[in-house]
Every structure is written in structure tokens, then in C-alpha cells.
Amino acid sequence: MNKQIARVCQILGYWRLIDPLILNKNGGFCMKRLKRTVRGTALPLLMLCLILLGAGCSKKQYTLTIAVEGEGTTLPKPGQHNYEQDTFVQLQTISDKYSVFDHWAGRDADSVTTDNKIFMHSDKSITAVFTTLNHPLNININPVMSGHVQVDLVTDAGKIGFPHGQTARLTAIPNQAGTYFVKWSGDLSGPDNPVELLITSDKNITAHFAKAALEVTAGPGVIRAGQAFNVTMTVKAGERPIPNITINLTENKSQPFQGTKTAQTDANGVAVFENLMFYEGNYNLTFSSTNLTSIKKGFTVDVAGAGAPTDPYLIHNLYGLEFIGEHLDACFRIAKDIDASATAATSYNGGKGWLPLGQKSTASFKGQIDGNHKTISNLYIYRPDEEYVGFIGLITTAVQIKNLNLADVDITGYNRVGGLVGEVKDVPTFLADNCSVTGAIKGSIFTGGMFGRLSGTVSNCHTDTTTVAIIINDDSFNLGGFAGSAAGATITHCYAIGSVTGNNKFGGLLGSATDSSINQCYALGDVIRLPRNALNTAIGGFVGYLAYGCQIADCYSRGDVEGREDLGGFCGYLVRSIIERCYSTGSVPVPFADRGGFVGYRSTSVEAVITDCYYDSETS
């Protein structure tokens, strides 16, 4: 370069200046001395040339230092690069697959232009910052508003969003009780909750929720009374079984039943109600659980047995008793004590109560009943204008009833009214044994504690009832503590305890009796007249009217007797019948006519026989 300057000086005629030019320490040139012989007009021109030559031959060098933060690189590559002063350096950032350039950092980051250039007028130091690529995570809820998803970051792979490589824990949370998470769909599947999701790309998922529902999946099928069975329930939210759900079982009418009444679902969402046992009837079960919609399951339990003498229908409840009315010619056994108090409800048969079995002559009861020493209690009947009123209305053929107890009955009828049977009509082969009735009986004609009208054979039966006459058309007759009337009957070892209130032909055991045999029976209740009617005839402590071939032996009465005519401590009116070895002790007031301590009126015919009988003269 010194040669070039010297050449310029020679060309311009300033060769004497060559010697004073020396190279300075910065690589440029300076003039040591100038001769005065240099002409004034030439010196500026010479200096201009020297300046131009110096400017083109002595630019400074600057260093560009590039660093990288994150996953990526640059052009120029990271490191140190030298550039002449005033050079514009073009910068380029290159991200890897899962990162993105974010910004320039470092001491001279502000020197980088928006188009990624840097001007080198001094040493520069910059850093290219790359961040991990962010992926959107779109979460949908089905059904809408049924729940939400909580997102927790498990590994913090970045600062914002869901950077590539981030693991998110997703927890599906229902918005209301009884709603459950079911499954994931989209870029995530399965029922696991919570679940971890590795975010390596854009993700779109749906959290499915559903209301849990109860379902009966097995039983009951065809069931007979007293037969144990199971009912299997499932609880699912959509297709997902829900465990640990407590289910309660109730019967809508509060009818009793045996077996499991609470069950809990297992891991498969299954709950089993075991060893359920119902008796005959129509049932409507309710399966319920907190926050879930209850479901009802109706079914019928058939009466057990075949209705044959060797395999009778087994009766356990009121429904079973009603079943008898649909099978009047079958055989039955009362299998357990039955509370019939539901018959008193105003909704039961329109407030009329129990519908007597076989209330019409065309549909009388013709079967057999074994009470099995069980008790039917609280039977209610209110049919004041009907006839053939009682547990059984009418019997017209050979029927057997045994070992049956009716307790606390409340029965009201008009004609042929009895606690057990309204009328046994002309059936000498009828048999009743070891039966009882307690309660209240009301009727107008042929009304008794056990039978309204009776024929056939009865033994070992008793009543403890209050039998009260209902006066209709100013008349009422044939009322007894045991039977209102007996015709062609044989009665043995029977008794009546309760009082009898009547008008005509009424007595402590029988209101009237014809062509019947009564042995070893007694009556203890008072016999009370109704004051509203002036007749009050044929009233006795044991029987009111006894006529036409009756025979009574070894019987007694102890109740007080009230009346006006034909009034006796034992028998009120006696015609063509025999009384043997009997007595009475109840008081008998002085009536208007025909009063007797033992018999009120006795016909003068030879057929009216009284043998070995007595009464208490002090009380009667």
C-alpha cells in the first residue's frame, strides 16, 4: 500500500512527501512533515487523495457473537463471526420439529431489525431464543353443562399453553349429584378418571357424562306365595357401571315382605336383593337411591297350592282371602294370621268393606276352608241393605270349615247376617268345627254372632260378640249370640259370651230353633230388649223361640233377660220340643205377660217337655 501512495505522489509531483509518510499503529498512514515548497493549491488535493486512500484501505473489524437458547439453530451458525465495520449481517433462525423461534435476547438484542438484520458498527452479542412448540387442547363436554374437566400439569415442559412433551392430568368432574363421568373420546379413550395425556400434537377430546340409572335386570318372574326369589339390579351411567351405590327396596302399599331391603352395587354396578318372599297379591316395588330416579316394578304373586283337598290353596293375606271369592269351589288353608283392617278403608269396595264369599244363590261358597288355627282379624263389612252378609255369605252345599278364628269383626247387614256365615241353607251335611268369632254384629233379621241362619253340624265353636238388632220397618227378629236361627242343625259343645240386643225371637245363644239338636252348650251374655218397639216377644237367656222337634240337653244360660212377653231365663217360647238337664241363673224381670224363671211360654201340648231342669229362684 506504501507503493500505491508513493505512486500517487509521483504522479501528482509530490514525491518529496513520500518520505514523511509513515504507517501508524492502526494500519493507516500519517504524514511526518511537510516541505514548505509544497504549493498551497496542491496540498488540499493531495490530502484528499490520501484520505480517500486511507478510507478504502483501513476499515475496522467487529465480532458478532451468536448464542442459542432452546431447540434450534441460526444462520450464521451459533458462535463468533468477524465483520468489517458498517456491515449489515442477515440473520436467520431455524427451529427444530417441536420448537419455534420466540425472540432475540442478549446484550444487543435491540440492534436486530424487524427483518432480522444487524448493523456491525461495534462488537455485537445476541441470543436466539426458541420455545417448545405449543399444541391446543380442545375439551368438549357431552351433554353440554353436565360436567367439566380439571387440567393439572404433571411435567412443566414450558411456560405457557401446552408445550410439546407436556403431560397433563385430566380429571372429569360432574356438575350435579347423580351424574357420572362415563368415558373419553377423540384423542383420548377409555373410562379412566383421572387420566394423564402426553401432548405431542394438537388434541381434541370429549368428556362424556351421563345420569346414573337404576335397572332391574333379573327377576321377579312367575312367583308363588312363600317362594323365595332374588331381584338383580344394575346401576349404570351410560355404559359405565357405577359401584358403591346403596339401593333401598320398599313396597308401595307397605305390604309386608321378607328378605333384603337394602343392597349395594359391586364393582360391576350390580346389586342383588336376596331371598325376597311375598305372599299372594299384586305388588309394586320401588327401588330408590339418593340422587337417582326411582323405578317401580309391578308383579303378581300367585296363590300357592292347587286348590285340591290334598293340595289346598294356601292363604296368607287379604289378597288371598279375596282369591277365595274367585274360586268358590276350591279347597283352602289359612297359612298365617291375616290382618284385614284394610277392609275398613273408605276406598275399599266403596266403603262397604269386605265382599262376602258367595253372596248369591247362584254363586254360593262350595269349597272347604281349613283355618289351620289361624286368625283373621279386623274384618269390616257395612252393607245395611243387603242379605247374606258375613265372611261367607251363603252356603248351599256340603261345605267344611274348621279351625278358623275371626277376631274383632265389625259387621253390619240387613238379613241373614253372621260373623262366619250369613246363611247355611238347608244343608244337613254342612260341617263346622273349632271356629270362633269375636267383635260386633248388627242386623235386622236372622242375625247371629257366628251364623245368621244355620243348618248342618257345628261343634266346638264359640262367639264373644255383641249382637245388636237394627230395627227396619218397626220390626226385627231372630237374633242370637251364636246363631240367629237354627233349622235342621246339630250344635254341640258351643257357647256364646256376648250380649244380644233385639226385638222379637232373640236369645243368648239362638234367636230361634226348629228341628235341631243342641247339646252341651251355654250362653253367658245378657239378653236386652230394644225399648223403641212394644212387642219384645219370645226372649230367652239361651234361646228365644224353640219349636217343632228341637231337643236341648245339658245346656245352661247365665245372662240377665229383658223383655215384655214370652220371657224366660232359659227359653222364651217353647212349642213341641224337649229340654233336658238344663238350667238358667240370670234375672228375669216381671213382664206384661208370660214370664218364667226358666221358660216364659210353654205350650200345653205333650210335645213340650222339660226334664231335670232348674233355675235360680232368687235371681230369676
Tens digits of residue pLDDT in 133-169: 777 788 888 888 888 888 876 544 333 367 777 888 8
Q: How far apart are CA 212 and CA 178, in angstroms?
A: 6
| Residue 111 DSSP label | G
Tally helices (H) and strands (E) across the chain: 3, 60
In order of 32, 33, 49, 405, the CA distances from 22 in angstroms are 7, 10, 16, 148
Please measure the distance between the N-terminal and C-terminal CA atoms of the chain and give it in whole angstroms: 174
pLDDT of residue 195: 92
Work out the number of other CB atoms within 10 angstroms of the CB of residue 15.
12
**CA angle, corner 369, sides to 367 and 373, nearest 5?**
175
- The pLDDT > 90 percentage for the chain reads 61
Positive or negative, the CA dihedral 82, 85, 90, 92 is positive
Instruction: Give the chain's length.
Output: 620
Nearest residue to 538 via CA among 568, 505, 510: 505
Handedness of CA 141, 144, 147, 150 (dihedral sign): positive
Q: Which three cell numbers stand for residue 229?
A: 326369589
What is the tens place of the pLDDT at every residue in 27-40?
A: 444 444 444 444 44
116-125, 219-228, 363-372 — which is least confidently predicted?
A: 219-228
Higher-confidence position of 22 and 493: 493
What value does the mean pLDDT take over residues 16-26?
Answer: 47
Tens of pLDDT, residue by residue over 396-412, are 999 999 999 999 999 99
What's the CA gap between 80 and 19, in Å, rounded? Answer: 40
Average pLDDT for 5-21: 50
Residue 145 or 447, more confident: 447
Residue 92 has pLDDT above 90, yes or no: yes
Going by C-beta distance under 8 Å and a sequence separation of 6 or more, which residues neighbour residue 18?
A: 5, 6, 9, 10
382 pLDDT more than 80: yes
Contact of 331 with 362, CB cutoff 8 Å = no
Q: What are phi and psi of 2, to 5 degrees?
A: -60, -35
Is residue 56 predicted with pLDDT exceeding 50? no
Rounded (10°) CA dihedral 234, 235, 240, 244: -110
DSSP-derived letter for residue 57 is H
Percent of the chain with pLDDT over 70: 86
State the cell numbers at 257: 315382605
The CA distance from 403 to 461, in Å, is: 9
CA distance linking residue 442 with residue 552, whole number of Å: 27
pLDDT at residue 137, rounded to an integer: 80
Q: Nearest 5°: phi and psi at 136?
A: -70, 140
When pLDDT is averaged across residues 520-535 and rounded to a whole number, the result is 85
Average pLDDT over residues 415-435: 97
pLDDT of residue 35: 42
User: CA nearest 223: which of 273, 179, 182, 283?
Assistant: 283
Return the CATH architecture of domain 219-302: Sandwich (2.60)
Q: Which residue is associated with the grid cell 441460526? A: 74
C-alpha cell at 445: 233379621
C-alpha cell at 410: 265389625
Q: How confident is the model at residue 376 (pLDDT cuts 50, 70, 90)?
A: very high
Query: Which range, 88-97, 298-307, 333-342, 600-609, has the best average confidence (pLDDT)?
Result: 333-342
280 and 323 in contact (C-beta within 8 Å)?
A: yes
At 304 the pLDDT is 94
Dump pLDDT digits (tens) for 182-221.
Answer: 999 999 998 899 998 888 888 889 999 999 999 888 877 7
Angle at 522 between CA 443 and CA 380, to 5 degrees: 30
Higher pLDDT, 364 or 221: 364
Closest residue by Cα to residue 139 from 77, 67, 60, 199 = 199
Domain residue extents for the chain: 2-57, 61-132, 137-211, 219-302, 313-615
Q: Please provide the average confidence, as pLDDT, over all residues in the chain.
A: 87
Which of residues 197 and 345 earns the better pLDDT score? Answer: 345
Residue given cell 240377665 in the structure block: 560
Per the listing, cell 239361651 goes with 542
Q: What is the pLDDT of residue 159?
A: 38
Alpha-carbon torsion (129, 133, 136, 137), positive or negative: negative
Predicted local confidence at residue 258, as pLDDT: 79
Please give the pLDDT value at position 1. Answer: 47
